[in-house]
Chain A
Amino acid sequence: MSEHAELKTGPLEYRKEEGTLTILGFWIFLAAEVVLFSTLFATYAVLFGRYGDATPAPELFEMPIALAMTFLLLTSSFTCGIAIHMMRKESLKGLLIWLSITLALGLGFLGFEIYEFVHYVHEGASIQSSAFWSAFFTLTGTHGLHVTLGIAWCLLIIIQLVRVGLTPTTARKTFVIGLYWHFLDVVWIFIFTAVYLIGMVV
């Protein structure tokens, strides 16, 4: 049986059997995440416009903030791509630099989201205000929570990269967080469209 032998060529993260399995498993996990977010989007769509006595969304939504968040997250996805590219070139330093930039951009996104939430609550629209606002905060909040987890996770991996260096195991971990980060970006594009763009118009 040669399944446990380590390959000498090919992308670092795929050289061990375990790497191949984990990455496939993670892709499938992302499929489950797609279903999870789809359910939240469907919930949002069903509860759209059900404001009760609370303030309607168009009066609160601010395009500049949403645009800034979009810009930050899209850029971070790009820098994350560069980080993986650096990993392929087996440049640990490049990988660490670009991962850190990704992390900083992610933190910037999170900062804006927290500001946005606090602002809405001050204006009288909290998660308890009405069905619409519950759905809004839950959808965007779930994404925000994913970003938070992603940042914490990325930090752990940076620590491990510094301690252990680039091995098939750390490469696998880095690749997986890369997938996760791009996925969060894709979800955000849908949130930006379905929540902010449509919310601004209707």
Chain B
Amino acid sequence: MWDFIWNDFLVTGEPLIYGAMASIVLVTVLIVFVLTYFKLWKWLWDEYLTTVDHKKIGIMYIIAALAMLFRGGVDALMMRTQLALPGMNFLNSVHYNEIFTTHGTTMILFMAMPFIIGLMNVVVPLQIGARDVAFPFLNALSFWTFFFGAMLFNISFVIGGSPSAGWTSYVPMAGPELSPEINQNYYLLALQLSGIGTLATGINFLVTILRMRAPGMTLMKMPIFTWSALITSIIIIFAFPILTIALALMTMDRIFGTHFFTLAGEGMPMMWANLFWLWGHPEVYIVILPAFGVFSEVISTFARKQLFGYKAMVYAMCVIAGLSFVVWVHHFFTMGAGAGVNSLFSITTMLIAVPTGIKIFNWLGTMYKGRIRFNVPMLWALAFIPNFTIGGVTGVMLGMAAADYQYHNTYFLIAHFHGVLIAGTLFGMFAGLTYWYPKMFGHKMNEKIGKVSFWLTVIGFNITFLPQYFLGLMGMPRRTYTIEPEWMPLNLLSTIGAFILAGGFVIFVYNIYFSARYEPREKTGDAWDGRSLEWATTTPVPHYNFATVPYVNSHEAYWDMKETGATTYDESKLEPIHMPNYKGMPIIMSAIMFVASFGLVWHWFWLAIPGLIGVIICMVIRSFDYDEGYHVPIEEIKRTEEQARGRKE
């Protein structure tokens, strides 16, 4: 028993991991102490853990995403440290492999995804004039399955060992024959658990956007960020079931002895690569399109001008979404599918440059004849354009299959996808967070500190990743734990850049603290002279969002309202507002799923089966729950609005 716990259950023998264990215990004790000392448990449970309010769920998503960005970032720094010099003995090959696997998986699935979903949660209902999302209970369930999925993935490095087959987990390497240890199960079950939540989010937002828009807001009068959320939801609905199946098949291979991807029993390892990228490529667009939406909003607001080519922007996103499903083979041109197949997928891949190019030029067009303010959200959006262009054109180069034979699996590829994911998704999320921050928290983020963080990030990003294009062309493969002497100068430079980049992140987080304490409170509700409905309601946003929903005439609803003097508090139209009750079920049910998944990771059916039964019981209880929420009385709405608006209208 003790032998099992010491040798297999806990990860032992690595000083770094002992350090991590100690810090986890310390931080947990600290959190518990603070919550108990300040008597915050009840507050936490009542206000956040049981909430079904899209704004609070969005904030929880973003906090979790920032925490995961920290974790993935520490992984990145460890990797860059190991690769700084030839002969570095900071991480051994096994440990390094675990680190890059968790880095990739965390950043894509537990950082980028929740970050965009968090922003969608906060902003989309506000932009379309809705009181909440279509299924608030399901929304809370989505968050908690994601959260517990992320926790399951993160405990692997102290309990049982991290997966080490890369975020792509190619078989047969990740299969039961070559990786019999339980590590890989963490990857499979954690992704499965959070994947359920993501699929539910996709359905939730699609219904919300299709059915709950303000009167007069036709599809072509929706704010562009909402459009990007709509298209992202559709991609999620068509892509995530593929991941669900792919993960389920590999789980069965590993736990129940099936032969989908194995060497024995005529399994088909290549099928995994196909299924994975059939989901994986659309996934890339799931995380980039909402960022495009953010940039459109931010550039238009800070250039004080309508979005240039609104319709073209919408169609371009639709085309990108469609193409995203027919390019997956470009992730393995080198599999030997033949010249015909590779030619076809080369062309579809390069075609994505056309709608993307249209968007870039439309953003530039939006600034033409504008009056540009350089606030921090705008800086992030502006930095995106040149940096993403570099990442984008190298993507076109990678799309040329014949040349890809030389780029594939090298640092050229690494530089490319970090170029688009950081300059696209991450800059987009930072732009969105700073832009909507006053709406979420009632105060802006400090501009001076924000600029320091911005410049460190942008400069660090370029110093980190530009050299990697050349390292790739010099023959440095990805996922190698050590470097050759001739790759030293550029690698050292890249490592220095990574630390500068990390400095930018630290200052960003410090700014959250600093702004909470010292920034002036935001009272108008319209912090940036905004153009869409989210700025029309007061700050802080009342839990019912809008006292009355205005009639919408264009895709810049609030801009029109400001011209005509309309408000979201029309006393003559007040009616009681129907709102859902908070529920403890989502967190409890997700926690039980976590336990069941943890049991399955270890092949402990005595734990997994009761867990599964627990989940079923929760669903039965939910089925018998006829709670239909409550109505906010008119008096309360009046009181809230008049207090927030500071006068009687």
CB contacts (< 8 Å) of B624 on chain A: these are 156, 160
CB contacts (< 8 Å) of B573 on chain A: these are 1
Partner of A134, one of B242, B260, B577: B260
The segment from B69-77, B250-258, B390-398, B528-536 found at the interface with A is: B250-258
Interface string of A118-154 (1 = CB under 8 A from B): 0000000001111111110010000000000000010
A26 CB to nearest B CB, Å: 9
Taking the complex as formed, is A50 at the interface, i.e. its CB lies under 8 A from any CB of chain B?
yes
Q: A25-B203, A156-B620, A160-B624 are in contact. Are A39 and B246 (CB under 8 A)?
A: yes
Taking the complex as formed, is A61 at the interface, i.e. its CB lies under 8 A from any CB of chain B?
no
The segment from A29-37, A81-89, A191-199 found at the interface with B is: A29-37
Taking the complex as formed, is A24 at the interface, i.e. its CB lies under 8 A from any CB of chain B?
yes
Q: Are A138 and B252 in contact (CB under 8 A)?
A: yes
* Nearest A residue to B547, CB-CB: A1
Q: Are A40 and B206 in contact (CB under 8 A)?
A: no
Partner of B244, one of A24, A36, A47: A36
Q: A28-B206, A32-B240, A32-B241 are in contact. Are A130 and B623 (CB under 8 A)?
A: no
CB contacts (< 8 Å) of A43 on chain B: these are 245, 249, 260, 271, 275
Q: Are B207 and A1 in contact (CB under 8 A)?
A: no
Residues of B in contact with A, size category:
35 or more
Partner of A4, one of B245, B275, B548, B578: B578
CB contacts (< 8 Å) of A35 on chain B: these are 237-238, 241-242
Partner of B210, one of A24, A127, A130: A24
Partner of B259, one of A40, A134, A157: A134
Give the A-B pair count, Cβ closer than 8 A: 118
**Per DSSP, are chain A's interface residues mostly helix, strand or loop, or mixed?**
helix
CB contacts (< 8 Å) of B135 on chain A: these are 21-22, 25
A29 to B548, CA, bound (A): 31
Taking the complex as formed, is B385 at the interface, i.e. its CB lies under 8 A from any CB of chain A?
no
Taking the complex as formed, is A112 at the interface, i.e. its CB lies under 8 A from any CB of chain B?
no
CB contacts (< 8 Å) of B14 on chain A: these are none
Interface string of B195-234 (1 = CB under 8 A from A): 0000100111011001110000000000000000000000
A15 to B530, CA, bound (A): 37
CB contacts (< 8 Å) of A51 on chain B: these are 266
Instruction: List residues 260-293 of chain B with CB under 8 A from any CB of chain A.
Output: 260, 262, 264-268, 271, 275
CB contacts (< 8 Å) of A31 on chain B: these are 237-238
Taking the complex as formed, is A169 at the interface, i.e. its CB lies under 8 A from any CB of chain B?
yes
**What would 27 A/B residue contacts be, using CB atoms closer than 8 Å?**
A21-B207, A22-B135, A24-B207, A24-B210, A24-B211, A25-B203, A29-B203, A32-B241, A35-B242, A36-B242, A36-B245, A43-B271, A43-B275, A46-B271, A50-B267, A50-B268, A51-B266, A127-B257, A128-B258, A129-B259, A130-B266, A131-B265, A131-B266, A132-B266, A134-B252, A134-B267, A169-B628
8 residue pairs, one from A and one from B, having the closest CB atoms = A50-B266, A134-B258, A36-B241, A35-B241, A39-B245, A4-B578, A128-B257, A130-B265
Residues on A close to B: CB < 8 A? Answer: 1-2, 4, 18, 20-22, 24-25, 28-29, 31-33, 35-36, 39-40, 43, 46-47, 50-52, 127-135, 138, 153, 156-157, 160, 164, 169, 173
